[in-house]
């Protein structure tokens, strides 16, 4: 409020209003007003990053569930707080849907058509199974023809008297506060032990917050207060005009605001930061045992590795977590020995399986797993098939060909000399590197390609051994890092100050580990601090950028990085990190 210390949200709203007033005073062109489209896109990108982080936090509940189930722990606490987290996600989706629906109605009035994206509808489900259809995404603001129209936002959300705005504008603030109060009650209300009941009754305004928190668990009050204040919108805001009195919140936000500016304000109210704060709080309420593991890998397995044409196969895929510092003990037998444990071998590490004879083979055994310090033997079994010679196409970098990239493919044929194997392609150019290795290149825009493998027999005749289809795609986006931190993660202030360069590289989870990306430029921003720094060729930050970062403690740094991959195509990537 005026005269008091403004929150970061209030400062942002004030800054946007000040810029808007200045633009209107200059009778700005549509191109300048379109700058709000860029602002909206940045806010939307930030919300997407935070939403991904929220999904990761929800996944942590399932990890704790698995740990509690494995140790036969108490599931009641988990069920309580995971249920609350699910309801939080539901309530957030419903409120965001309301905000996007209001924004859609505003744009629809201008453009004469619905502005919800084709993939912009979804379904929210709470812990009791209650479902609600929600709006999740609007079409790009850049496509709006009347982006500088300020009559529609004013009429819809303010009306004819700015000192007494219409109820529709007032309802936006009220809906946010209803959500705030509902989630704060979820966070604060629970039973501890047998008879300790903590509660929270939302106050009428922030002046009564301290009194309302007295019925909460003292260990929770700081986080509940932080959440409450983060979602408190002032009843009035300073109008940023000389001598002007404070005005009602919707009047300052929407009065004479172009449609794109009003839309950006709706985007800024998406609440993802507050949702993240509440979700992490709820996750922290569940304690679960920690297992010793330092590696997580995908694991796919089936009853057999070979099937005939027309048959089917059930493939199970899961994540395996293990401690690479401790080699497990294994007992096993193969084929005839599987029925007699006395004949089983005992080893540590991997089992070597050999294809001495064709047909199906079975391996059965036990693996030693430590549970609460004691070795426990768990049964397992595996079947595999040794087949007759056949032709295959092996591509170490997945069954995908990337545009403009030197894709490495290998042609092999069991039972044939590698020098006798040749590849030919459709929709792809191939150049031999010897011993069955090829470089495959596809043009930009190609969707599918096929590669055929053939081999020469001892008598000199050629035999076709199969044709293999490939999906063709653009190069994957790069992962942007600053001081070793990737987007969405936190960074220490000292590390941020000591770093003057951003880097781009292929995602570590991608199989294309030899790909090199090059930074060609970009910009640096710090939330709450005016100004823009530049990123030079190679990723080096200029003095303006380092100056902004030196002021970033407790704030968020935003990098917009221009870069190129081996295909020569320029791209733009965004990376944000919170400075601690």
370 and 405 share one domain: no
Confidence of residue 2 (pLDDT cuts 50, 70, 90): very low
300 and 266 share one domain: no
DSSP 8-state secondary structure symbol assigned to residue 442:
B
186 and 72 share one domain: yes
Q: Nearest Cα to 578, choosing from 513, 541, 509, 528?
A: 528
Q: What is the largest CA-CA distance in the chain?
A: 99
Of the listed ranges 367-381, 400-414, 457-471, the one predicted with least confidence: 367-381
468 and 508 share one domain: no
Concatenate the DSSP letters of all residues of 53-107 into one string. Answer: HHHHHHHHHHHHHHHHHHTT---HHHHHHHHHHHHHHHHHHHHHHHHHHHHHHHH
Residue 514, SS3?
coil
Residue 145 has pLDDT above 80, yes or no: yes
546 and 422 share one domain: no
Q: For 104-130, what is the mean pLDDT?
A: 94
- Whose structure tokens read 């419903």? 94
Residue 341 lies in a domain: yes
| Distance of alpha carbon 391 from alpha carbon 418, whole angstroms | 11
- Does residue 173 contact residue 233 with C-beta atoms inside 8 Å? yes
444: domain CATH number? Answer: 2.60.40.3440
Q: For 182-191, what is the mean pLDDT?
A: 96
Residue 126 lies in a domain: yes
What pLDDT was estimated at residue 476? 85
Sign of dihedral through CA atoms 508, 509, 514, 518? negative
Last residue of a domain, one of 438, 453, 473: 473
Q: For 522-538, what is the mean pLDDT?
A: 94
* Each residue's pLDDT tens digit, 33-82: 656 677 677 767 767 777 888 888 888 888 888 777 766 777 899 999 99
Residue 140 lies in a domain: yes
Range of the domain at 143: 8-284
Residue 243 has pLDDT above 60, yes or no: no
420 and 500 share one domain: no
251 and 301 share one domain: no
Confidence of residue 3 (pLDDT cuts 50, 70, 90): very low
Computed on alpha carbons and rounded to an integer, the radius of gyration of the chain in Å comes to 30
Confidence of residue 8 (pLDDT cuts 50, 70, 90): low
Residue 2 lies in a domain: no
What pLDDT was estimated at residue 415? 61
Structure tokens at 136: 């999740």
Distances (CA, A) of 314 to 300, 302, 532: 10, 6, 54
330 and 399 share one domain: no
- CA of residue 99 relative to chain centroid, distance: 22
Residue 397 has pLDDT above 60, yes or no: no
Helix axes 8-25, 259-268, angle to 10 degrees: 170
The whole-model pTM stands at 0.50
Q: For 516-523, what is the mean pLDDT?
A: 93
- Does residue 106 contact residue 153 with C-beta atoms inside 8 Å? yes
Q: For 397-409, what is the mean pLDDT?
A: 83
Structure tokens at 387: 């087949």
Q: Which residue has the higher pLDDT, 398 or 75?
A: 75
492: domain CATH number? Answer: 2.60.40
**Exposure on the CB side of residue 527, measured as CA atoms within 13 A:** 20
Residue 191 forms beta bridges with which residues? Answer: 197
Of the listed ranges 21-25, 81-85, 520-524, 548-552, the one predicted with least confidence: 21-25
Residue 508 has pLDDT above 90, yes or no: no
Q: For 409-414, what is the mean pLDDT?
A: 76
Q: Which residue has the higher pLDDT, 287 or 317?
A: 287
Q: For 304-318, what is the mean pLDDT?
A: 58
H/E element, 262: helix 259-268
Confidence of residue 246 (pLDDT cuts 50, 70, 90): confident
Q: For residue 195, which phi and psi values (nearest 5 degrees)?
A: -140, 10
**% the chain with pLDDT above 90:** 44
What pLDDT was estimated at residue 148? 84
What pLDDT was estimated at residue 494? 93
Q: 490-491 and 570-579: which strand pairing? A: parallel
Residue 199 lies in a domain: yes
Q: For 341-357, what is the mean pLDDT?
A: 80
31 and 180 share one domain: yes
180 and 59 share one domain: yes
Residue 289 lies in a domain: no
Question: Quick count: other Cβ atoms within 10 Å of Cβ 446?
Answer: 16
Last residue of a domain, one of 417, 449, 473: 473
H/E element, 574: strand 570-579
- Does residue 483 contact residue 502 with C-beta atoms inside 8 Å? no
What pLDDT was estimated at residue 34? 58
Residue 1 lies in a domain: no
Confidence of residue 543 (pLDDT cuts 50, 70, 90): very high
**109 Cβ contact list (under 8 Å, min separation 6):** 152, 156
439 and 368 share one domain: no
The count of structural domains within the chain is 4
Supply the mean pLDDT for the chain: 83
Last residue of a domain, one of 417, 439, 473: 473
Confidence of residue 522 (pLDDT cuts 50, 70, 90): very high
Q: Which residue has the higher pLDDT, 148 or 440?
A: 440
469 and 483 share one domain: no
Residue 561 has pLDDT above 80, yes or no: yes
What pLDDT was estimated at residue 460? 76
Residue 566 has pLDDT above 90, yes or no: no
Confidence of residue 532 (pLDDT cuts 50, 70, 90): very high
Concatenate the DSSP letters of all residues of 381-393 into one string. Answer: EEEEEEPPP-EEE
Residue 317 has pLDDT above 80, yes or no: no
**242 Cβ contact list (under 8 Å, min separation 6):** none
Residue 468 has pLDDT above 50, yes or no: yes
Q: For 119-134, what is the mean pLDDT?
A: 94
| Distance of alpha carbon 265 from alpha carbon 14, whole angstroms | 11
Q: Which residue has the higher pLDDT, 390 or 254?
A: 254
Q: How far apart are the two ends of the chain, measured CA to CA in Å?
A: 27
**% the chain with pLDDT above 70:** 80
Residue 544 has pLDDT above 90, yes or no: yes
Q: Nearest Cα to 430, choosing from 420, 422, 421, 440?
A: 440
Residue 461 lies in a domain: yes
What pLDDT was estimated at residue 416? 67
Residue 190 forms beta bridges with which residues? Answer: 198
């Amino acid at each position: 409020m005026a005269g008091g210390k403004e929150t970061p949200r209030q400062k942002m709203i004030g800054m946007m209003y000040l810029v808007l007033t200045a633009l209107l005073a200059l009778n700005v062109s549509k191109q300048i007003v379109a700058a709000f489209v860029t602002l909206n896109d940045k806010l939307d990108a930030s919300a997407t990053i935070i939403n991904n982080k929220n999904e990761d936090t929800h996944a942590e509940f399932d990890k704790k569930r698995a740990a509690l189930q494995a140790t036969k722990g108490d599931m009641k606490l988990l069920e309580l707080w995971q249920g609350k987290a699910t309801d939080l996600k539901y309530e957030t989706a419903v409120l965001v849907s309301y905000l996007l629906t209001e924004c859609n109605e505003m744009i629809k009035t201008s453009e004469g058509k619905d502005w919800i994206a084709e993939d912009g509808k979804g379904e929210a489900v709470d812990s009791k199974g209650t479902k609600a259809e929600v709006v999740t995404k609007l079409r790009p603001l850049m496509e709006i023809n009347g982006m500088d129209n300020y009559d529609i936002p004013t009429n819809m959300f303010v009306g004819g008297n700015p000192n007494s705005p219409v109820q529709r504008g007032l309802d936006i603030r009220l809906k946010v506060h209803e959500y705030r109060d509902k989630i704060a009650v979820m966070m604060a209300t629970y039973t501890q032990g047998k008879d300790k009941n903590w509660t929270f009754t939302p106050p009428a305004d922030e002046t009564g917050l301290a009194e309302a928190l007295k019925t909460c668990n003292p260990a929770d009050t700081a986080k509940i207060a932080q959440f409450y204040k983060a979602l408190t919108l002032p009843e009035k805001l300073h109008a940023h005009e000389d001598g002007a009195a404070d005005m009602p919140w919707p009047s300052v936000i929407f009065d004479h605001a172009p449609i794109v500016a009003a839309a950006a304000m709706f985007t800024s109210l998406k609440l993802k930061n507050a949702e993240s704060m509440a979700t992490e709080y709820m996750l922290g309420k569940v304690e679960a045992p920690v297992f010793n593991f330092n590696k997580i890998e995908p694991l796919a397995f089936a009853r057999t590795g070979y099937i005939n044409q027309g048959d089917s196969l059930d493939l199970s895929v899961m994540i395996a977590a293990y401690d690479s510092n401790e080699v497990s003990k294994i007992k096993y037998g193969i084929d005839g020995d599987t029925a007699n444990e006395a004949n089983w071998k005992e080893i540590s590490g991997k089992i070597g399986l050999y294809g001495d004879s064709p047909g199906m083979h079975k391996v059965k055994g036990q693996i030693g797993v430590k549970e609460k310090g004691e070795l426990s033997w768990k049964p397992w079994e595996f079947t595999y098939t040794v087949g007759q010679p056949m032709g295959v196409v092996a591509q170490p970098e997945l069954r995908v060909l990337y545009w403009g990239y030197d894709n490495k493919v290998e042609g092999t044929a069991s039972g044939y000399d590698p020098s006798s194997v040749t590849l030919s392609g459709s929709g792809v150019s191939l150049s031999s590197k010897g011993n069955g290795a090829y470089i495959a290149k596809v043009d930009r825009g190609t969707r599918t390609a096929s590669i055929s493998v053939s081999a020469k027999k001892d008598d000199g005749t050629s035999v076709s051994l199969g044709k293999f289809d490939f999906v063709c795609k653009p190069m994957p986006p790069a992962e942007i890092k600053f001081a070793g931190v990737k987007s969405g993660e936190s960074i220490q202030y000292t590390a941020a100050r000591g770093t003057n360069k951003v880097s781009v590289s292929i995602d570590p989870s991608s199989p294309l580990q030899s790909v090199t990306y090059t930074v060609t430029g970009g910009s640096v921003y710090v939330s709450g601090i005016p100004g823009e720094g530049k990123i030079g060729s190679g990723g080096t930050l200029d003095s303006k950028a380092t100056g902004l970062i030196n002021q970033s403690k407790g704030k968020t740094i935003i990098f917009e990085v221009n870069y190129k991959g081996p295909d020569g195509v320029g791209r733009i990537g965004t990376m944000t990190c919170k400075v601690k």
